[in-house]
């Protein structure tokens, strides 16, 4: 049998014998309970914001409408007595006129009432026999592909001149189009079915912000359905897919950690098998399990199997991160905190971009957007797949490489502080005999992480109003790059006394700059072409225009940090990093304003 | 049970936490969640509806109007933030492609009071946030035009909804998000972290084989357990209180902070004791964490399905609309804590006895 399979078998047996006998029945019982409780919640709804507002209503029929919303505590009284006790309620409705208390709560109650009333009106009109009398206006939304593709439009800003008094005249050749037909071409019953379906989908999100709405995007929409729908159901399903994966990777994390308790892993390390193969063997059962769970979920949900292709890079990424966390944590507490932290950050990275699935191409930074697309029936192209998964594959690969490289007695059983451990982990990737070559390689390998961190910053800051989003992105992107470049150098300087000299620093910095730039260029052309079209891309990748200027910039950044560390010791690392970031930001600003390049 | 021993163990565990500095990571995590969710909320609103924020984008957006003449033209011209140009459809579409317009509307010659619906065609740019902004701005105008058309066809309607006039709400953009979601979430996070912590503290003693050493000291197993529980619990009100204070600094006033911290602490005591029981049973981190986290999801969902659950009470307390009924719920939770505490003590004694005998 191949050694990888032997180890995989051993791992399976070990985990099976270590478990208490009642774990499996308990797990099955809990799973059944979970199904039951989910059903219960679906039945009775989430009671999180019940009874936030009080409302006084004089009309019994209207009170019945409001009473369906558990956020309101409804009091019924006649008009005059309500008018007298006006101040006791957040909201009062007398004679069809609503009045909110002049407090934030009163105004929020007014907003909630407006949502409810809209829903009620829609339900009345939706039941009209003559649908086109109740809904006389339908909008057919067509999307046009722009010919101009570079400017600030990605951020919702107007390009060029403000609209003038006269109608604009196009510069290009006007292509004659026939006017769309006046008829709607769909039966009223079909439209009604869509309306009803739309009304029944969950509007819980609309409570928190009334600009978002859930629902399906039909061909025709009423004016009320005009804003792009949030793929709410698909987004909930994302969690259904991610949680089991997260749990299973926890098992792997713990299996790695267990090898380190009482130096149990010594026997494994003593086998004449390469560490990479040992790790492959140990990870194989978990990989298979995660794929199996995902497949079962997909089949149960009746979803397209393409989703598995989108989940695979996520599974590999989770496993590789679990490997490193399991190898570095010093205690169970640390394991818990680091893994909770990691899973929160990873889940936000995976989850939040998919909120924009129907709005902006930026959503594709997360493979989960592919899942949303697959569930919605939006076709997925090969470039889409490459674009949203390549980073995950690469990062998983690099993490696994780092794990295999450090899977040795010295690293596994060390108890030094986390920062030292990270330094050691990077340090053991650097060769003593070829320090420059390994620095070059290391900085190229760090590129996927840099891009991932920058994408994270992009999804985070993308949401803010315009000048802030760009500014924060500018600083954040520069900082991430400088940090990544300085890591290898710092590890090298800390590793050996003889590396701590100016004669080493300059060629080392040059190697890092070259490796970084080469890696950036390669990956950028392979994947991120879509983002670079928008102004955010311009901010992230300004240091990529041309060849010599960015090389000098990278060199300068590394030299600053290295110089600080050489001159002032380890304490000077952070100030050096701040200064390097500052220089980088200034350079990017200069490029953006057109001073350079 | 010797109270000094309990305190000693609690102090030891807390010292371990501060030495490892992992608690920093936990705090960082909570800050991350708060920042990210708030950013997302503010961002989504500004993205879909720029006027919702005070520093609103007031620029006009150009709209091409093609097709039949209709009252919609006048409505669009009167609307804020739009500049309308009656144009030929082909020219308008080319101008849109060159981004000289933000949207093009085509209106057919359907009679306003006819049998057939009026089908507008709205052209916007693909993959452009300006399209979302346009959708929001046009929504209101089109809604008003829809009402006008509906009025013309009113004789064909069977029911009319009850009339209700609503003044536009002022402010309160994020009220329900902040008080209905963020505050309960932030207050609950320390409770979940405390429960994860107790499992680690207990299973670590088993798996690192330090239990013998611990039991060789004058401290009994029960005292050690309660010390660990105390160490986890003491962090909860500190973190929850800090959150409420931070929110206050941010201008988000929370109505009943003391009651909220009490509820959070009581709820986390339930979770911590459940975690302790699970880890006493499994003595191994993987199984204990797995069973506990799955159980936690079940318990949380179950709680949320019941009206008047602690999370809902925290939301209501934070906006100041909870009655005195919440004290009864608090008392109920406290009784549950006592019961679980009694069970844990019994269990711990039997475990210790088995340990000494076996």
Say which residue, A300 or A158, is predicted with more confidence: A300
pLDDT range class, residue A60, cuts 50, 70, 90: confident
Single out the residue of A264, A57, A48, A226 nearest to residue A141, CA to CA: A226
Binary contact (B201, A333; C-beta < 8 A): yes
Closest Cα of chain B to A20: distance in Å?
7
For residues B99-123, average pLDDT: 86
pLDDT at A150 over 70: no
Same domain for A475 and A520, yes or no, is: yes
pLDDT at A20 over 60: yes
pLDDT at A161 over 60: no
Is residue A537, in this structure, part of any structural domain at all? yes
Average pLDDT across chain A, whole number: 78
Same domain for A404 and A455, yes or no, is: no
pTM, two decimal places: 0.77
* Bridge-based pairing state of the strands A91-94 and A72-76: unpaired
| Identity of the residue in B97, B129, B146 whose CB atom sits nearest the CB atom of A223 | B146
The CA distance from A42 to A135, in Å, is: 31
pLDDT range class, residue A132, cuts 50, 70, 90: confident
> Which domains occur in chain B, in start order?
3-43+174-357 (no CATH), 52-154 (3.40.190.10)
pLDDT at A323: 92
Q: Report the percentage of chain A scoring pLDDT > 70.
A: 82
pLDDT at A233: 63
Same domain for A524 and A579, yes or no, is: yes
Among B132, B177, B313, the strongest candidate for a mutation testing the A interface, having the largest count of A CBs within 10 A, is B132
| A76-99 CB burial, b ≥16 within 10 A, e <16 | bbeeeebeeeeeebbbbbbeeebb
User: Which chain B residue lies closest to A463 (C-alpha atoms)?
Assistant: B43
pLDDT at B277: 94
pLDDT at A108: 87
Binary contact (B146, A137; C-beta < 8 A): yes
Contact status, residue A328 vs residue B20, Cβ threshold 8 Å: no
Contact status, residue B135 vs residue B49, Cβ threshold 8 Å: no
Is residue A588, in this structure, part of any structural domain at all? yes
Residue A584 is part of which domain span? Answer: 433-597
Residue B56 contacts A, CB cutoff 8 Å: no
**Top-ranked range on mean pLDDT: pick from A37-41, A148-152, B129-133:** A37-41
A96-106, pLDDT tens digit by residue?
888 888 888 88
pLDDT at A466: 58
B188-201, pLDDT tens digit by residue?
888 888 888 899 89
Give burial (CB, 10 Å; 0-12/13-18/19+) of A187: exposed
pLDDT at A215: 44
pLDDT at B193: 85
For residues A211-240, average pLDDT: 64
- The last residue of a domain, from among A99, A126, A153: A126
For residues A2-20, average pLDDT: 79
Is residue A253, in this structure, part of any structural domain at all? yes
Same domain for A408 and A265, yes or no, is: yes
Q: What residues form DSSP beta bridges with A94?
A: A97
pLDDT at A431: 73
Q: Which residues contact A238 (CB under 8 A, 6 or more apart)?
A: A350, A351, A354, A368, A371, A372
Same domain for A375 and A504, yes or no, is: no
User: Which chain A residue lies closest to B41 (C-alpha atoms)?
Assistant: A209
B296-348, pLDDT tens digit by residue?
989 888 888 888 888 889 999 998 888 788 899 999 999 999 999 999 999 98
pLDDT at A526 over 50: yes
pLDDT at A572: 82
Single out the residue of A87, A125, A126 nearest to residue A105, CA to CA: A87
pLDDT at A267 over 60: yes
pLDDT range class, residue A440, cuts 50, 70, 90: confident
Q: How many domains does chain A have?
A: 3
pLDDT range class, residue A71, cuts 50, 70, 90: confident
Same domain for A412 and A444, yes or no, is: no
pLDDT at B153: 87
pLDDT at A258 over 90: no
pLDDT at A159: 41
- For B226, the token pair is 């309660």
- The last residue of a domain, from among A374, A405, A429: A429
């Amino acid at each position: 049998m191949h050694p990888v399979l032997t180890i995989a078998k051993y791992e399976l047996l070990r985990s099976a014998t270590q478990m208490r006998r009642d774990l499996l029945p308990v797990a099955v019982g809990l799973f059944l309970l979970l199904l039951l409780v989910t059903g219960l919640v679906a039945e009775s709804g989430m009671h999180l914001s019940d009874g936030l507002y009080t409302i006084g209503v004089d009309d019994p029929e209207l009170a019945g409408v409001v009473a369906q919303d558990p956020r309101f505590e409804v009091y019924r009284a006649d008009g005059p007595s309500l008018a007298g006790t006006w101040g006791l309620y957040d909201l009062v409705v007398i004679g069809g006129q609503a009045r909110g208390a002049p407090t934030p709560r009163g105004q929020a109650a007014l907003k909630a009432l407006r949502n409810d009333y809209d829903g009620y009106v829609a339900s009345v009109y939706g039941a009209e026999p003559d649908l086109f009398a109740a809904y006389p206006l339908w909008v057919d939304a067509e999307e046009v592909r722009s010919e101009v593709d570079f400017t600030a439009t990605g951020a919702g800003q107007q390009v060029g001149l403000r609209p003038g008094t006269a109608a604009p005249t196009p510069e290009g050749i006007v292509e004659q189009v026939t006017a769309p037909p006046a008829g709607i071409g769909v039966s009223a019953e079909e439209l009604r079915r869509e309306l009803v379906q739309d009304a029944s989908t969950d509007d819980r999100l609309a409570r928190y912000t009334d600009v978002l709405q859930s629902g399906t995007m039909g061909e025709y929409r009423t004016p009320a359905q005009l804003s792009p729908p949030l793929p709410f159901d698909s987004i909930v399903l994302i969690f259904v897919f991610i949680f089991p994966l997260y749990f299973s990777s926890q098992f792997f994390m713990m299996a790695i950690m267990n090898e380190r308790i009482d130096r149990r892993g010594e026997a494994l390390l003593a086998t004449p098998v390469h560490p990479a193969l040992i790790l492959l063997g140990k990870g194989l059962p978990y990989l298979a399990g995660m794929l199996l769970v995902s497949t079962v979920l997909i089949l149960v949900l009746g979803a397209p199997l393409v989703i598995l292709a989108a989940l695979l890079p996520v599974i590999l990424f989770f496993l590789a991160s679990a490997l490193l966390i399991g190898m570095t944590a010093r205690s169970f507490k640390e394991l818990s905190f680091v893994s909770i932290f990691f899973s929160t950050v990873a889940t936000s990275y995976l989850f939040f971009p998919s909120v924009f699935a129907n709005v902006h191409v930026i959503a594709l930074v997360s493979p989960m957007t592919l899942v949303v697309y697959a569930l919605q029936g939006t076709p997925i192209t090969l470039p889409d797949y490459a674009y949203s998964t390549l980073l995950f594959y690469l990062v998983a690969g690099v993490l696994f490489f780092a794990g295999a490289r450090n899977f040795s007695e010295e690293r596994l059983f060390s108890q030094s502080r986390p920062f030292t451990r990270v330094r050691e982990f990077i340090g053991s990737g650097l060769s003593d005999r070829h320090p420059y070559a390994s620095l070059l390689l290391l900085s190229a390998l760090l590129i996927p992480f840099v891009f991932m961190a920058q994408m994270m910053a992009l999804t985070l800051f993308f949401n803010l109003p315009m000048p802030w989003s760009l500014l924060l992105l500018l600083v954040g992107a520069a900082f991430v790059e400088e940090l990544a470049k300085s890591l290898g150098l710092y590890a090298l300087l800390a590793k050996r006394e003889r590396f701590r000299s100016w004669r080493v620093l300059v060629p080392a910095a040059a190697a890092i700059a070259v490796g970084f730039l080469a890696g950036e260029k390669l990956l950028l052309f392979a994947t991120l072409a879509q983002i670079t079209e928008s102004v955010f891309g311009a901010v992230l990748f300004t240091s990529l225009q041309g060849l010599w200027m960015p090389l000098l910039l990278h060199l300068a950044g590394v030299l600053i940090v290295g110089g600080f560390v050489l001159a002032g010791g380890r304490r000077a690392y952070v100030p050096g990093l701040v200064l390097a970031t500052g220089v980088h930001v200034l350079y990017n600003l200069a490029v953006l304003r057109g001073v350079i390049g | 049970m010797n109270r000094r021993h309990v305190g000693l163990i609690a102090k030891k565990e807390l010292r371990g936490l501060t030495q490892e500095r992992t608690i920093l990571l936990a705090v960082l995590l909570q800050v991350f969640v708060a920042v990210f969710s708030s950013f997302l909320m503010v961002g989504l609103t500004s993205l879909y509806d720029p006027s919702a924020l005070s520093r609103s984008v007031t620029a006009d957006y150009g709209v091409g109007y093609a097709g039949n003449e209709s009252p919609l033209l006048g409505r669009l011209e009167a609307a804020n933030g739009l500049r309308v140009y009656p144009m030929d459809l082909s020219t308008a579409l080319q101008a849109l492609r060159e981004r000289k317009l933000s949207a093009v509307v085509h209106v057919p010659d359907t009679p306003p009071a006819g049998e057939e619906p009026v089908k507008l065609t709205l052209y916007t740019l693909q993959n452009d946030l300006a399209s979302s902004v346009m959708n929001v701005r046009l929504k209101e105008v089109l809604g008003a035009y829809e009402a006008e058309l509906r009025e013309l066809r009113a004789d064909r309607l069977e029911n009319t909804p009850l009339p209700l006039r609503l003044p536009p709400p002022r402010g309160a953009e994020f009220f329900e998000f902040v008080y209905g979601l963020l505050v309960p979430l932030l207050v609950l996070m320390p409770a979940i972290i405390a429960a994860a912590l107790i499992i680690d503290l207990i299973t670590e003693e088993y798996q690192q084989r330090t239990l013998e050493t611990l039991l060789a000291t004058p401290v009994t197993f029960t005292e050690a357990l309660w010390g660990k529980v105390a160490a986890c619990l003491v962090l909860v009100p500190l973190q929850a209180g800090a959150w409420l204070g931070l929110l206050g600094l941010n201008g988000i006033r929370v109505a009943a902070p003391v009651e909220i911290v009490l509820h959070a602490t009581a709820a986390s005591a339930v979770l911590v004791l459940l975690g302790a029981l699970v880890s006493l049973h499994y003595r191994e981190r993987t199984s204990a964490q797995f069973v506990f986290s799955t159980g936690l999801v079940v318990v949380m969902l179950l709680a949320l399905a019941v009206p008047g659950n602690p999370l809902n009470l925290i939301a209501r307390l934070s906006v100041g609309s909870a009655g005195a009924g919440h004290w009864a719920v608090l008392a109920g939770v406290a009784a549950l804590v006592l019961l679980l505490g009694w069970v844990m003590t019994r269990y711990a004694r039997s475990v210790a006895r088995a340990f000494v005998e076996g």
